[in-house]
Structure 1
Amino acid sequence: MLRKETSEELIQLEKQNQSKRIKRIKESKNHFDLNPYGVNFFNIWVKFPKKMFFIFISAILYNIAVATFLAKAATIATGLSALVQTITFSVSKTAPYFAYIYFLFNLPLVIFFWKKNARLFMVLTTYWLIWQMCFQSLLLIPQVSNVFDKIAIFYVNWQTPGKGEYGDIQNSLRTLIPWEAYGNYLNHYSSWWNLIKDQDAFMKQFNLSSAEYLSLLRFYDVLSRGYTNPTWPIIIYAVIGAICGGSAGGLAWKNSASTAGGDFIVYYLSRVKQKSVGSMSMIIAFCFASFSIFVISTLELSGVVSKGPGGKPLNHGAILLRVLCSVCYIFIYSAFLELIFPKYKKIKIEIYTKEPEKIIKHFKDIKYWHGYNISHVTGGYTGTETTVIETTALFLEQNSIKNEVWVAEPNAWITITRVHNIHGHFDTSKID
């Protein structure tokens, strides 16, 4: 004979059922389709050729930012690249292979987040890493790397004819020496200085004119007597590099990808927490940068990296300035990222119309994914009644929503205002 449940047992059973219902509701809200587009490494070329193109552009722009500006300023890396920099900094021979080491460091993250982040994001970001490696492979070609090495905002032996400590000096692009953060010009241009005393041999080997030879000879005299390397270019290079890097990162994020590394973590946390990509990127960057700043500053201040012919001369002021510029880089990069890709920024859209039934019917037809309110207002000037449809959406959705409204009702009038705080779950499935 079955036992009849007591009232306490029934109450307990009801609580369990209620908790299960709440759990199912939460799971349905948090459900995330990893691959709604059915993309893989092969069909993505056909399904999203435009995104692939912009990912390629982003990778090139980012590498230009690093190779042309940030590397010259010797800023301390942020994100996962901070870990790679500690290796290339400690073992200078590995520096040309930064992109390859960075790719290897990213492989565990790709595997770990493959089933946590959107497949489109993971595939495109992996391609971004591949483009980065391809671009750095070009930089291994001496002719190509020399071009990027020559690009500078300041040349240490720049002298205008008729001016300068040594009088008239003939300038030549071939003999200009770009500024570098460590100022190790005697070592980096040792092939010149080893022959500088033999004018005929020097001019013949490097195919220089007498004026070009004289220019280098006089600058060599400056170096020999002790040249004070300026530090102000660190600031300029860091700012330009941050702008280029932030633009490249924003371009990648806007096209469903990223610059890899810590961005795999940023994407996951920003989606789960529904926080802006820029703010999450800043937090992750500071975490990695703190480690890198500590390690690299310790190596430099202890004199470990200044030993040997290829060592980096110690400059306490330059180290401090590079650290400060690295921190500024994080702020500028994150600001540009947020400006270009304000992923979870919310807006309020108000639609004023005389034919609300058309818009409401169209919203139902397209299964509009946000809630909306309907109210009726009377115009103060005309005295006519107008219907207002109000909905809260994401900033990145505004163009598609406006287009959908105008498809149904071309004469609708739309206003958009910024929403600062929303508490609770918000549907972001259209941009995740």
Structure 2
Amino acid sequence: MDNNFDYSIEMKFKKRFNDHYDGFFSFISINWKKILIIIFCALFYAFGQVQFLLKAASVSDGVEAISTSLAYVLPYLKPFLTILYLCLNIPFIVWFWKKVKKPFMVSTLIFLCCNALFGFIFGLEPVDQFISQKVIVIMKDGWLPIDSVAVDGVIGKSGTTKYVDSGWPVFVYIILTVACCSPTSAIVWKLGSSTGGTDLIAYYISSKLKKPVGNFLVVTGTGMATIGIIFLYICKNTLPASFADKINGFDYILGPQTFGTYLYILLNGFVINLIYPKYNKVKMRIDTREPEKVIAFLKSINFWHPYKIETSVSGYNKENVYSIESVVLLLESNDVANKIKSVIPEVWISISPVSKIYGRFNYSKID
């Protein structure tokens, strides 16, 4: 076996999920490619929140539910929506700074700052007017720019920024929000970061319980969104008309915005779990006639999961075949399999899902 082979699986996973932190500028210089992707994701995320979710007059999830709710009650806050979200994140950043690994917190802070900047740009009146003329909504009469839609009490209300505040077009904009925000959010998670707010709570609980982070995002997001919806409903129905008329929708507690908000939260959690299945496990089976080579390889990389060896007889040539089985994380499986195939091309590797395990499991390479 070639002892000069670069057995870098463990280092690769530490680099991807648990980067060593020696200071902000050192972190940036080492992870500049990852940071660029996070900045790009922040651009799309801000666009989806400001240009789609906000125009659907729906509430976001998590801490963003607070910022969007305040922006609906106080319209002059709308251009500063993402900046307000950044400010609301400060207590979370301070609280979790020493409880969560530093690379995760630093990259999350970078995302939040970039999201605030891009959201402010998208919220500027000239930019917002230009985009609103290009954004389309499905109507019974065809595809129309949102600024061209007649103000009839169903599609929107008058003003510089148009809103879809009732009817099924709300759900069109919710789907557009999911298409824009959820994949970018999942990519950010996959890079070892988050979009902030209750994401930090979800990440902390998920890491402790070793459960999919999307599940906890749904729980925390639903709780905060419900508070925002109740707050807007109360404001809409109790404040003087000079304030209440500025709130689009929310005449009913179970109106389109409420269902649109919960639809967004559920789809968002589903997409994140789909793209970022952090704690999903699979069974890896390696069939070979030379088990000593595979075992030597696993020892050389200090393979971090237990495995067993079984012997069977090939029905084709009646020779002994050795099967080495181990339960690994889905995120690890491709890297491990590719490394083994690159050293021992003749092995046969199969991977099958595992629904549940009982007992201890090593998560050190991703936590």
Residue 250 of structure 1 is matched in structure 2 by: 186
The structure with the larger Rg is 1
Quote the offset at 1:137 in angstroms.
3.0
Residue 68 of structure 2 is matched in structure 1 by: 85
1:1-400 mapped onto 2 (5 Å cutoff): 37-154=20-137, 176-177=148-149, 183-185=156-158, 187-188=159-160, 231-302=167-238, 304=239, 306-307=241-242, 311-312=246-247, 316=251, 320-400=255-335
Quote the offset at 1:274 in angstroms.
0.2
Separation (CA, whole Å) in 1 of partners of 2:308 and 2:67: 52
Residue type of the alignment partner of 1:270: S
Residue type of the alignment partner of 1:108: P
Separation (CA, whole Å) in 1 of partners of 2:39 and 2:122: 16
Separation (CA, whole Å) in 1 of partners of 2:64 and 2:356: 33
Quote the offset at 1:329 in angstroms.
0.9
Residue type of the alignment partner of 2:30: K
Separation (CA, whole Å) in 1 of partners of 2:241 and 2:174: 23
Larger deviation: 137-146 or 342-351? 137-146
Quote the offset at 1:298 in angstroms.
1.7
Residue 352 of structure 2 is matched in structure 1 by: 417
Residue type of the alignment partner of 2:261: S
User: Is the 2:47–2:122 Cα contact (8 Å) retained in structure 1?
Assistant: no
Quote the offset at 1:425 in angstroms.
2.8
Separation (CA, whole Å) in 2 of partners of 1:362 and 1:178: 68
Quote the offset at 1:143 in angstroms.
2.9
Larger deviation: 376-385 or 135-144? 135-144
Separation (CA, whole Å) in 2 of partners of 1:377 and 1:394: 26
Separation (CA, whole Å) in 1 of partners of 2:250 and 2:324: 63
Quote the offset at 1:58 in angstroms.
1.2
Quote the offset at 1:310 in angstroms.
6.3
TM-score of the aligned structures, taking structure 1 as reference length: 0.74
Distance of aligned partners of 1:87 and 1:316 in 2 relative to their CA distance in 1, 3 Å threshold:
closer
> Deviations for 1:72-118, whole angstroms, at most 9, x for unmatched residues?
11111210111222322332222211111111111111121112212
> Deviations for 1:19-74, whole angstroms, at most 9, x for unmatched residues?
xxxxxxxxxxxxxxx96512532122221122112111211111121122111111
Distance of aligned partners of 1:373 and 1:129 in 2 relative to their CA distance in 1, 3 Å threshold:
same
Residue type of the alignment partner of 2:60: A
Separation (CA, whole Å) in 2 of partners of 1:176 and 1:123: 43
Distance of aligned partners of 1:338 and 1:315 in 2 relative to their CA distance in 1, 3 Å threshold:
closer
Separation (CA, whole Å) in 2 of partners of 1:105 and 1:114: 15
Separation (CA, whole Å) in 2 of partners of 1:139 and 1:344: 36
User: Is the 2:229–2:253 Cα contact (8 Å) retained in structure 1?
Assistant: no
Distance of aligned partners of 1:146 and 1:70 in 2 relative to their CA distance in 1, 3 Å threshold:
same
Separation (CA, whole Å) in 1 of partners of 2:21 and 2:128: 40
Q: Taking every aligned residue pair, what percent have the same amino acid on both sides?
A: 27
User: Is the 1:151–1:178 Cα contact (8 Å) retained in structure 2?
Assistant: no
Separation (CA, whole Å) in 2 of partners of 1:378 and 1:175: 71
Residue 18 of structure 1 is matched in structure 2 by: none
> Deviations for 1:278-308, whole angstroms, at most 9, x for unmatched residues?
1111111112112112111222233x27425
Quote the offset at 1:316 in angstroms.
3.8
Separation (CA, whole Å) in 1 of partners of 2:342 and 2:75: 60
Quote the offset at 1:141 in angstroms.
4.0
Separation (CA, whole Å) in 1 of partners of 2:81 and 2:281: 38
For the residue of structure 1 that corresponds to 2:283, the secondary structure is strand
Larger deviation: 173-182 or 359-368? 173-182
Separation (CA, whole Å) in 2 of partners of 1:334 and 1:174: 28
Distance of aligned partners of 1:246 and 1:374 in 2 relative to their CA distance in 1, 3 Å threshold:
same
Separation (CA, whole Å) in 2 of partners of 1:320 and 1:136: 27
- Equivalenced residue count is 348
Quote the offset at 1:159 in angstroms.
9.1
Residue type of the alignment partner of 1:127: I
Separation (CA, whole Å) in 2 of partners of 1:184 and 1:93: 16
For the residue of structure 1 that corresponds to 2:255, the secondary structure is helix
Quote the offset at 1:275 in angstroms.
0.4
Quote the offset at 1:366 in angstroms.
1.0
Separation (CA, whole Å) in 2 of partners of 1:174 and 1:278: 32
Separation (CA, whole Å) in 2 of partners of 1:68 and 1:396: 33
Separation (CA, whole Å) in 2 of partners of 1:411 and 1:57: 41
User: Is the 1:276–1:343 Cα contact (8 Å) retained in structure 2?
Assistant: yes
Note the residue ranges of structure 1 that are not aligned, 5 or more in a row.
Answer: 1-33, 161-170, 190-227
For the residue of structure 2 that corresponds to 1:115, the secondary structure is coil
For the residue of structure 2 that corresponds to 1:231, the secondary structure is coil
> Deviations for 1:166-207, whole angstroms, at most 9, x for unmatched residues?
xxxxx9x8983587987222x549xxxxxxxxxxxxxxxxxx
For the residue of structure 2 that corresponds to 1:415, the secondary structure is strand
Separation (CA, whole Å) in 2 of partners of 1:174 and 1:113: 41
